[in-house]
Amino acid sequence: MGQYVSAHGDVISHVNISSVRVADGGLYQCTAHNTAGQAHHSARLNVYGPPTIRHVGQLTAVAGQTLSVTCPVGGYPIDKITWQKDGLQLPATHHQRVHANGTLTIAAITRAGDEGSYSCTALDKQGRSDHQTLHIQVMAITAAASGVLISQHSEISSTLSIDRTSGEHSGNYTCTASNGARTTSSSAALTINIPPTWVVEPSDADVSLGASLEIPCSASGFPTPSVTWRKQTHSGNWRDITSESTRIPQVHQGTKSTQTKSFAGASSAVEPLSLSERFPAPNVMQVWQQKTTVKALTRVGLQRESSAGQDSSGSSLIIAKAAKEDNGRYLCAANNAEGPGLSKLVTVTVLEPPWFPVRGREVTAQVRGTAVLECSVRGDAPLAVQWRRDGQVLPLIGSKYSVEQEHGEETTKLKLILNDALASDGGAYECQASNLHGSNSLVYSLVVRDVPSAPSDVKVSEKGARFIALEWSASAERASVPESSDINFIVFYATVEGSYKEIKVPTNFARITGLDPATRYLLRVAAENSVGRSDATEVLMATTLEEPPTGPPRNVKVVDVSKRSVALRWEAPLANSTNGVIRGYILGYRKNSFSHRGDS
């Protein structure tokens, strides 16, 4: 780099770069100044190659002013430049702006909202990228209000003093001196170490089984305190809550569905859960961070967060879908090597309202039999369990109901026993449980089944010489809940002198085949289910149609012969071959090779 004055009085400055590297690419600025002011000129040098960002380190800004930060990227061509603050894509507020050339502008910068770590990332179209992180410190000094006193000893001597230091006095201080010739300045960093103090002190909390609980814990100090959580084991030792590999869905700040107040005053985020669907219970602990987006939480873990400009750090212990094993004592500790540090022991109590590990179901019993309904309930003692029907507590005095109760280590069982059950006893039965934390109920359905009623309206719908078709009306099954799909029908048939035969059909129609013509039959129908068979209907008589005889006359004989006639005699065909009533015979005769017919 060099400069010279031309014959016309112009100052010529130049920059020479030998052995150009990708990192040499970027925006270059030339500044010219004199006693009247200064001027700038910028130009960009593009060096072909992958994105390369130079290290920046730390920048200092003055609160209330506008800060512009250029991402010092080399490489060409560059497709896109993005900015992030604490992992959050910018712009995130209305006073932040990311320009197309990769410059980040923050208007009216504040220490509370804008101080922190910023990351600049450059990408090219081949997917190659580079990033660098810089820290922006925002300086805000108020003299008298903050205890800062500036004493002017002479025109060339000044002293800055602070009576009582506090965390807000940390920062960079710059002393500036100027005269008619030039201006110069000198800066010094002041760091004040502060022991941790509570910002949010954790407290004891209760949570219902299956709900979610959040216990916040945060502290401030300098250096920024490290906040950790530990849980006491059954042996009395303490186990660190650290990140594990099991992942749960993404959680963002402000997305909790409902905010309630826990029993002990801590903020509790409750996610409704059907307790009957909760078994087996998930055991998931999460961390909910203030002012940050938690991209991936772990089953048991903490994600720490430092609030820009406040030198504070905090994390919240989240127990999602709490289980009984989440009961116990938890310790939140904040340390920064200044002083003894802070710690607070809190007790988490998981309250177990009544819930049912087994869903309600349908119980089937037979008429005059015994029905047993068993209800299993879990929950904190004292646990009251009872059976109800139509709003009345069972058993009723002098009734056929009785109850038996069993107390297990975790489950209480209450059996409802019904003797000599009738169809009218069927219906809904409610198992109701309650304790100090709430109440719950589960409905069981009792079906008392009897043999079906006998069919009605039996009639012949069609008949022939060899078949009879019947149809009838099916009466409803005598049960608390009809189940006609289980019903079959039995058709009985017999001749007047014979014994009954039967066929089974699933519908209210039957076709009886293989019958004898012109025969009277006795017909009856009964209904049948898994319990038993109904009474048969009254006897219905039906006669099959006739058909031509299948047997010839027997013992045909000539009994008399004259010149003009012949007398014949015969016997009727066998009874089983007449197929009806014989109404006459046909006699045929033949003379001299031709026949003559006539009726007898």
pLDDT at residue 200 tops 60: yes
Amino acid letter, residue 397: I
Q: Which two tokens stand for residue 239?
A: 């186990």
> Which of 335, 433, 311 has the alpha carbon at shortest distance from 375?
433
Q: Confidence band (pLDDT; 50, 70, 90) for 596?
A: low
Q: Which residues have CB under 8 Å from 420's CB, separation 6+?
A: 368, 370, 400
pLDDT tens for each residue of 229-258: 999 988 888 898 864 423 232 222 222 322
Q: Which two tokens stand for residue 464?
A: 């022939």
Q: Tell me whether strands 384-389 and 371-378 are parallel, antiparallel or unpaired.
A: unpaired
Residue 401 contacts residue 394 (beta carbons within 8 Å): yes
Q: Confidence band (pLDDT; 50, 70, 90) for 597?
A: low
| % residues pLDDT > 70 (the chain) | 83
Structure confidence at residue 119 (pLDDT): 92
Q: Which residues have CB under 8 Å from 75's CB, separation 6+?
A: 22, 25, 47, 48, 49, 50, 51, 52, 122, 124, 130
What average pLDDT does range 377-382 have in this prediction?
A: 92
163: left (phi over 0), alpha (psi -120 to 50) or beta: alpha
What average pLDDT does range 59-87 have in this prediction?
A: 88
Radius of gyration in angstroms for the set of CA atoms belonging to the chain, rounded to a whole number: 51
Question: In angstroms, how far is CA 511 from the centroid of its own chain?
Answer: 56
User: Which residue is listed with tokens 């109404």?
Assistant: 583
> Residue 143: exposed, middle, or buried by beta-carbon count in 10 A (0-12, 13-18, 19+)?
exposed
Q: Which helix (H) or strand (E) holds 183?
A: strand 183-190
Q: Between 115 and 92, whose confidence is greater?
A: 115
Sheet containing strand 103-106, edge to edge, reads: 67-70, 103-106, 96-98
pLDDT at residue 92 tops 90: no
Strand partners, 41: 30
DSSP letters spanning 498-514 = S--EEEEESSSEEEE-S
Question: In angstroms, how far is CA 47 from the centroid of its own chain?
Answer: 53
Residue 53 contacts residue 122 (beta carbons within 8 Å): yes
Structure confidence at residue 15 (pLDDT): 84
User: Which residue is listed with tokens 């910018």?
Assistant: 90
3-class SS at 536?
A: coil
pLDDT at residue 98 tops 70: yes
Phi, psi angle pair for 484, to nearest 5°: -65, -20
> What are the b/e assignments for 107-137, b being 16+ CB within 10 Å?
eebbbebbbbebbbbbbbeeeeebbbebebb
Q: Which two tokens stand for residue 51?
A: 């994105």
Q: Between 9 and 564, whose confidence is greater?
A: 564
Q: Tell me whether strands 157-162 and 148-154 are parallel, antiparallel or unpaired.
A: antiparallel
Q: Confidence band (pLDDT; 50, 70, 90) for 13?
A: confident
3-state secondary structure 93-107: CCCEEECCCCEEEEC
What average pLDDT does range 489-495 have in this prediction?
A: 95
Residue 524 contacts residue 537 (beta carbons within 8 Å): yes
Residue 262 contacts residue 213 (beta carbons within 8 Å): yes
| % residues pLDDT > 90 (the chain) | 32
pLDDT at residue 299 tops 90: no
Beta strand segments in 272-311, E: 284-288, 306-307
- CA pseudo-torsion sign 93, 96, 100, 103: negative
Structure confidence at residue 494 (pLDDT): 95
Highest mean pLDDT among 109-123, 275-289, 493-507: 493-507
> Which of 317, 313, 356 has the alpha carbon at shortest distance from 336?
313
The Cα–Cα gap between 373 and 86 comes to: 59
DSSP letters spanning 101-132 = TSEEEESS--HHHH-EEEEEEEE-TTS-EEEE
Amino acid letter, residue 386: Q
Q: Confidence band (pLDDT; 50, 70, 90) for 478?
A: low
pLDDT at residue 550 tops 70: yes
pLDDT tens for each residue of 258-287: 233 332 233 333 333 333 333 333 333 333
Q: Which two tokens stand for residue 246?
A: 């099991």
The Cα–Cα gap between 588 and 568 comes to: 12
pLDDT at residue 191 tops 50: yes
pLDDT tens for each residue of 348-373: 999 999 999 988 788 988 888 899 99
Interior CA angle at 523 toward 521 and 526, to 5°? 160
Structure confidence at residue 485 (pLDDT): 59
pLDDT at residue 37 tops 90: no
The Cα–Cα gap between 543 and 579 comes to: 12
Q: Confidence band (pLDDT; 50, 70, 90) for 291?
A: very low
How far CA 511 is from CA of 470, 507, 568, in Å, comes to 6, 11, 44
pLDDT tens for each residue of 127-150: 899 999 999 988 765 444 467 787
pLDDT at residue 203 tops 50: yes
The Cα–Cα gap between 196 and 342 comes to: 7
